[in-house]
Structure 1
Amino acid sequence: MNADDFVGGHSILALERFMDETRHMIIFDVLSWKSPVGEKGERLRLFLSDVGYAKAQASERRGEIKIRKQAAVIEGHILPDRKKRRH
């Protein structure tokens, strides 16, 4: 693992992952000092409820963060988004 692979925020086994309301895991880059979470230049992982995920999407639309990866979380299990195949 090199320095570019470091992800701050919640650890992969964070308690937040297993909370009943948790539905999403995101890994994102902080692009602005105005971001409500983290500092510019950081890459973070968060486990979020539907409300928290909506807030993260709004932050991305404002240009504060860039969501790099998103996965659904069901009962603590991480289910990565699958890209739709074109036939």
Structure 2
Amino acid sequence: MGADADFIGGHDILALERFMDETRHMIIFDVLTAESPVGDKGERLRLFLSDKGYEKALASEKRGEIKIRKHAAIIEGHILADRKKRRH
């Protein structure tokens, strides 16, 4: 893999969508099929989403169209990365 291996398409990290009032989620995902509603097979994308958009992404993942690699909550434009659950 070359330098493009780290490329993430979709929304830029400072995209206007990040700062919209309804934005609550950021996801980074891989497009697994040509049937995916967003992107082309083999792409890795970042999207800033509302709750409704995130629900659609989860449904797409359940259908096997995408694989969500990373999720973070968005509050007033701030990215709050999900914490890994600790084992006790």
Q: Residue in 2 aligned with 1:34?
A: 35
Q: Residue in 2 aligned with 1:60?
A: 61
Shift of the alpha carbon at 1:41?
A: 0.5
Q: Residue 60 of structure 1 aligns to a residue in which SS?
A: helix
Identity %, equivalent residues:
80
Q: Residue in 2 aligned with 1:13?
A: 14
RMSD: 1.0
Number of equivalent positions? 87
Shift of the alpha carbon at 1:2?
A: 2.2
In 2, Cα distance between equivalents of 1:4 and 1:28: 14
Amino acid of the residue matched to residue 68 of structure 1?
Answer: R
| TM-score of the superposed pair, with normalisation by structure 1 | 0.97
Shift of the alpha carbon at 1:6?
A: 0.2
Q: Which structure 1 residue ranges, 4+ long, deviate > 6 Å from structure 2? A: none
The answer to whether structure 1 residue 77 and structure 2 residue 78 are counterparts is: yes
| TM-score of the superposed pair, with normalisation by structure 2 | 0.96
**Structure 2: gaps of 5 or more residues:** none
Q: Residue in 2 aligned with 1:46?
A: 47
In 2, Cα distance between equivalents of 1:84 and 1:41: 29
